[in-house]
Amino acid sequence: MLELKNIKKAFGDCVANEDVSLTVHKGTIHAIVGENGAGKSTAMKVVYGFYNPDQGEIIFDGKPVTIRNPHDAIALGIGMVHQHFMLVDNMSVAENIILGAETGSAANLDLDRANAEIKKLSDDLKLNIDPHALIEDLSVGQQQRVELLKALYRNANFLILDEPTAVLSPQEVEEFFAILRRMKEQGKTIVIITHKLEEVLAISDEVTVMRDGKTVGMVKTSETNTQELARMIVGRDVLLRVEKTGATPAAIVLDLNDLVVMGRNGVAVGGVSFEVRAGEIVGIAGIEGNGQTELIEALAGLTKPASGSVEFEGKDITGNSARDIKELGIAHIPEDRHKRGLLLNSDLYENSILGVHYRAPIAAAAGVLNSAAIEKRVGEIIEEFDVRPPNPELTARSLSGGNQQKLIIGREFELDPKLLLVSQPTRGVDIGAIEFIHRKLIELRDKGRAVLLVSAELEEVTALADRLLVIREGKIVGEIDPKTATFEEIGLMMTGG
């Protein structure tokens, strides 16, 4: 269905794709894996017409093609669902889907016809999406399905999915894979860009591995395993499990008492009480949208609690500002790196000093920034956390999602915090970087620091946490031992089963 021959794509001095060749067979699910910055998304954006290749050939459905822009790709039956959804929150499902492909005249849109077609598409694939629903009222998993419908509405037979499960709960992943299998049965061809090797083995027929902008191999999924794929991706053996000694909890660092936080649709956190001690990682497991975001943002000073109290090292900090909280020694790695973590159009110099730009040695006298100190700081973050490309003059927007994440994590670790609030630390991050980030979190704990971890990855949160809290509908519904609890038991607590 698709063949790329010797594709090259560079952005100035940065070569994203160099001599990329791969083959995707019709009616299959094909996974593309590789480290952050390996060129996976760039190669597929060339197929979708987002970028024009500097050299090379694209053969689609047996014919050489020139794809100048996404309109050309859509005309060929190619659709792409991006890692960060492209939906308008205050518009309906149908309005989002037909945007750019409207039926009827501009003065008289045929929304009734569009609603009927979208309803049929949704029913055929058992997507269970109401065309009249507002995007802002849908869960993340449902928004993912809307993006699929948007591509299918434009008659896509070849679908590119960039990190499609990055924001889905384990239950939503299973439902999503069932949808993909139904699409494959209908004759669709699907390419998945992902970092999750267990999911690659569960859903794909073939796997292409990329490293440093090049393809390093293609294997049949049935003839490989997680360890072999990890070795191909990173170029060395990778530790696929978290190794840690037992925790030695000390004094209480964070103490919550009956904390209530409001969300957009009412009470998001409904009277939560727990504590986190120095020298331990406390994990919070739950399906996304059950109050985790609002809880962490309230603790980080981004929103104010409605009632209850928060104590840090015995001092009441309820309602303190984000700057005050950071000054106390609390660092925050947010779940949404674009909304809360980065200035996307600013360079890595500026992003590396967010939150410390007013402190010495970054700030010199009379509010002047110390360029030597900034260069030293960004250089240390880039080197220690392997941010690629290692060019501090690039904007944060020009980095891959995983490298954006490594920049944020490096910046917060540089603070040497007493308490780290961390949400989805490895979302969109490659397997080698996951190993590194997990090791850094354990090292922080072993230095006697406190860590509060929120992760939608059950495997991650159970492997890292010393104590595990389960949240549902804004309440802590239980505390369990992550060493003995099964995923099934945790899942039942998460869903109220």
Q: How does pLDDT run across 282-317, given as a tens digit for each residue?
A: 999 998 789 999 999 999 999 999 999 999 999 999
Q: Is residue 395 part of a domain?
A: no
Of the chain, the percentage scoring pLDDT greater than 90 comes to 72
Q: Is residue 380 part of a domain?
A: no
In this prediction, residues 413-438 reach a mean pLDDT of 89
Same domain, residue pair 321 and 229? no
Same domain, residue pair 59 and 194? yes
Same domain, residue pair 291 and 426? yes
Each residue of 316-359: pLDDT tens digit? Answer: 999 999 999 999 999 999 988 988 999 999 999 999 999 999 99
Cis-peptide into 305, omega within 30 deg: no
Same domain, residue pair 14 and 157? yes
Considering its fold, how many domains does the chain have in total? Answer: 2
Same domain, residue pair 105 and 20? yes
Q: Is residue 99 part of a domain?
A: yes
Query: 182, 201, 234: which is the final residue of a domain?
Result: 234
Residue written as tokens 């889907």? 97
Please state, in angstroms and rounded to a whole number, the distance separating the CA atoms of residues 44 and 288.
Answer: 28
Same domain, residue pair 292 and 432? yes
Query: 234, 266, 294: which is the final residue of a domain?
Result: 234
In the DSSP assignment, the letter for residue 303 is S
Report CA-CA distances (Å) from 250 to 311, 445, 450. Answer: 16, 11, 9
Same domain, residue pair 190 and 106? yes
Please state, in angstroms and rounded to a whole number, the distance separating the CA atoms of residues 168 and 174.
Answer: 10
| Residue 107 or 429, more confident | 429
Residue written as tokens 């919550």? 256
Q: Is residue 51 part of a domain?
A: yes
pLDDT of residue 214: 94
Same domain, residue pair 263 and 200? no
Same domain, residue pair 30 and 101? yes
Backbone angles phi, psi at 443, to 5 degrees: -60, -40
Please state, in angstroms and rounded to a whole number, the distance separating the CA atoms of residues 381 and 390.
Answer: 10
Range of the domain at 105: 2-234
Same domain, residue pair 257 and 160? no
Helices (H), 186-234: 197-203, 226-234
Each residue of 236-281: pLDDT tens digit? Answer: 887 767 889 999 999 999 999 999 999 988 999 999 999 999 999 9
**Torsion over CA: 192, 197, 200, 203 (sign):** negative
180 membership: H or E segment, kind and range: helix 170-185
Same domain, residue pair 216 and 294? no
pLDDT of residue 474: 96
Q: Is residue 483 part of a domain?
A: yes
Report CA-CA distances (Å) from 429 to 33, 36, 42, 389, 443. Answer: 11, 6, 16, 15, 19
Each residue of 366-420: pLDDT tens digit? Answer: 778 999 999 999 999 999 998 988 999 999 998 888 889 999 999 999 999 999 9
Backbone angles phi, psi at 72, to 5 degrees: -65, -40
pLDDT of residue 169: 67
20 membership: H or E segment, kind and range: strand 14-24
166 — pLDDT class (breaks 50, 70, 90) = confident
Length reported for the chain: 497
Q: 244: which 2 tokens?
A: 């840690």
Task: Kindly report the number of other CB atoms within 10 A of residue 43's CB atom.
Answer: 29
In this prediction, residues 95-119 reach a mean pLDDT of 78
Q: Is residue 408 part of a domain?
A: no
Q: Is residue 30 part of a domain?
A: yes
Please, what is the angle between helix 170-185 and helix 140-153, to 10°? 20
pLDDT of residue 366: 72
Q: Is residue 338 part of a domain?
A: no
Same domain, residue pair 125 and 228? yes
Please state, in angstroms and rounded to a whole number, the distance separating the CA atoms of residues 288 and 271.
Answer: 18
Instruction: List the CATH number of the domain containing 454.
Output: 3.40.50.300
pLDDT of residue 108: 60
